[in-house]
Amino acid sequence: MHETTMDSYLSGSRITSYDKDIYDFQWMDYPYMGKGISHEAIRIINNYAYIAQALGAVKNYHISITIPDSK
């Protein structure tokens, strides 16, 4: 996820927070992930999804979270 924005609004004793983001795949080439089959599998699956997204087979999606809080 990237391009995250978070806003908070205060109304009396209530605070409402809004978190908005776009979930999409980005190319993963992290040499610091360590060695092992599981890390390599995650990288391969992620990069396959990135290619599928670049070809239009997978679409990114918007996430919006509202967190009400009263004190």
Per-residue three-class SS string for 30-57 = CHHHCCCHHHHHHHHHHHHHHHHHHCCC
Give the pLDDT score at 31: 62
Give the pLDDT score at 36: 64
Domains held by the chain: number? 1
Question: What is this structure's pTM?
Answer: 0.57
Q: Per-residue confidence of the chain (71 residues) as pLDDT tens digits?
A: 455 666 776 777 778 888 888 888 888 886 655 666 677 788 888 899 999 999 999 888 888 888 888 76
Which residues form the domain of 49? Answer: 2-70
